[in-house]
A and B are shown apart, each in its own frame.
Chain A
């Protein structure tokens, strides 16, 4: 009976948590949905080429992902090898033919700083 109670409690907690995340996501202001035009020269991106200062280009967008490196669910060098570079293909295939999830794209948006000139 203890197992049954525990499962029921977990089931309710799951829906409460998922609903809370959904509601907060809907309520949060969409800061980066209409970014101001900010064009970044290719040479400028190339200067930010280290783990401590990492800009990357994905599909024409420039992203400062320095803060994200420790949060990425792989070894850091999976990202850092692309610092200062165009990582569009790596992002699209993860190196073995698999696309990033929509959630990953939503996260990427947070690090947008401009479009490549």
Chain B
């Protein structure tokens, strides 16, 4: 479990609660059920709008949340809480009305056609249900691009929700909704309609190196300025090669495997779906757009402390970036445990071994699942006896991360020492 106790997250909670207190202060001694119903609606809308605000995805803003992956988790939880509250809102109000008559409760939920602000609420809920059903896997795991297209309905959900909430609100609350709603809609418009044209930079794919079966490393040279980034960060890549069988003009996040000092970007991509499979044979010389950087894997706050890096499969990418940026004078003790199925799947192992020979304080240990089974605490202790005193960074498939985290915790490593990145559906 990641820790959610960050100033940015606490700020979100406080900002979300402001409209609730304003609404409560407007009508102080409300009857409990109706008060709960109103509070649920107010907080639900507040969380919906804030979820939109933080998803603006401006590079470096995510560092406040501990990186974009953690920011998306917060966004996901805000959306989940909003959805539940938005459902509780009309039910609680209807239950409150049911104490007078069941007819009033029915009218509250389904009034005559002219009560358009209530119907705006229903339309907002319908839009939410449509874009959140795939998010919460109501019909199984959705296809990424379809999920993303449906998620654009969030704009409509916010507009209808504001049309529902603004008319009955008094001035102070109305002003708050205009500010929150304005920010949320600006974030939405920037992300959907402005950033695709202004925030992405043009690159040319100058090298397509197959490093293993199903794994390719692309080299991208900038048309103008090179992205400024730190090791372990990632970027959104939009390939434009017209010959791509899938994923053309679609953006996906990939970890940068190059060192920040290089004059080009490198991205190691393992085939995991249609888009990544198509990229294995992307044309050399074709164009691509890059937006970033995102993430805070090697947190700048901890730079210089002895570290243990644990990679699973293609999870080697951020560590490749870190290793490639090491110089012989590197003064930080780094132990890398690189876990793969067998020798044939160890991507770019030759280059890592060469770095380990050249850099005295960088040590590399290979772990093969086929031969040694799962990565155990005993193996980690043998490879890196002082692991408990180090900052531990893990990247790999979610199952691998979860299992390794259990092994580490069983040996007394506190969660605060472990930093992990897994690229998966939330």
- Which residues on A are within 8 Å of B, measured CB to CB? 3-4, 6-8, 10-11, 14, 17-18, 21-22, 24-26, 28, 30, 68, 70-76, 96, 98, 101-107, 109-110
What B residues does A18 contact at CB under 8 A? 90-91, 94, 109
User: B109 near A21 (CB under 8 angstroms)?
Assistant: yes
Provide the main secondary structure of the chain A interface.
helix
Given contacts A21-B91, A103-B97, 14 further A-B contacts (CB under 8 A): A6-B80, A10-B87, A14-B87, A17-B91, A21-B105, A71-B34, A72-B31, A102-B108, A102-B111, A105-B107, A106-B101, A106-B103, A106-B106, A107-B104
User: B84 near A107 (CB under 8 angstroms)?
Assistant: no
User: A101 near B31 (CB under 8 angstroms)?
Assistant: no
Set B111, B133, B170: member contacting A103, Cβ < 8 A: B111
User: A102 near B138 (CB under 8 angstroms)?
Assistant: no
CA distance A106 to B103 in the complex (A): 7
Q: A75-B28, A103-B107, A106-B104 are in contact. Are A7 and B84 (CB under 8 A)?
A: yes
- Which residues on B are within 8 Å of A, measured CB to CB? 27-31, 34-35, 38, 76-77, 80, 83-84, 87, 90-91, 93-94, 96-112, 115, 118, 129, 132-133, 136-138, 167-168, 170
What A residues does B98 contact at CB under 8 A? 21
User: B87 near A11 (CB under 8 angstroms)?
Assistant: yes
Set A6, A26, A72, A73: member contacting B38, Cβ < 8 A: A73
User: B106 near A21 (CB under 8 angstroms)?
Assistant: yes
Set B27, B87, B91, B107: member contacting A106, Cβ < 8 A: B107
CA distance A71 to B27 in the complex (A): 13
User: A71 near B103 (CB under 8 angstroms)?
Assistant: no
User: B29 near A74 (CB under 8 angstroms)?
Assistant: yes
User: B115 near A11 (CB under 8 angstroms)?
Assistant: no
User: A4 near B137 (CB under 8 angstroms)?
Assistant: yes
User: A71 near B31 (CB under 8 angstroms)?
Assistant: yes
Q: How many A-B residue pairs have CB under 8 A?
A: 114
Closest 8 CB pairs of A and B: A25-B106, A103-B108, A102-B111, A106-B104, A106-B107, A73-B34, A14-B87, A107-B104
What A residues does B76 contact at CB under 8 A? 3
What B residues does A110 contact at CB under 8 A? 100-101, 104
CA distance A21 to B99 in the complex (A): 12
Set A3, A11, A98: member contacting B167, Cβ < 8 A: A98
Set B31, B90, B94, B118: member contacting A73, Cβ < 8 A: B31
A27 to chain B, nearest CB (A): 8
User: B101 near A21 (CB under 8 angstroms)?
Assistant: no
What B residues does A68 contact at CB under 8 A? 100
Nearest A-chain residue to B34, judged by Cβ: A73
User: A7 near B105 (CB under 8 angstroms)?
Assistant: no
User: A3 near B80 (CB under 8 angstroms)?
Assistant: yes
What B residues does A14 contact at CB under 8 A? 87, 91
User: B136 near A7 (CB under 8 angstroms)?
Assistant: yes
CA distance A84 to B111 in the complex (A): 30
Q: A10-B84, A73-B38, A98-B168 are in contact. Are A25 and B27 (CB under 8 A)?
A: no
User: A71 near B136 (CB under 8 angstroms)?
Assistant: no
A104 to chain B, nearest CB (A): 8
Set A3, A75, A107: member contacting B27, Cβ < 8 A: A75
CA distance A30 to B170 in the complex (A): 34
Q: Which of B34, B99, B102, B132 has the most CB of A within 10 A?
A: B102
CA distance A102 to B104 in the complex (A): 8
Nearest A-chain residue to B85, judged by Cβ: A10
CA distance A93 to B91 in the complex (A): 25
A80 to chain B, nearest CB (A): 12
What A residues does B30 contact at CB under 8 A? 73-74
Nearest B-chain residue to A19, judged by Cβ: B109
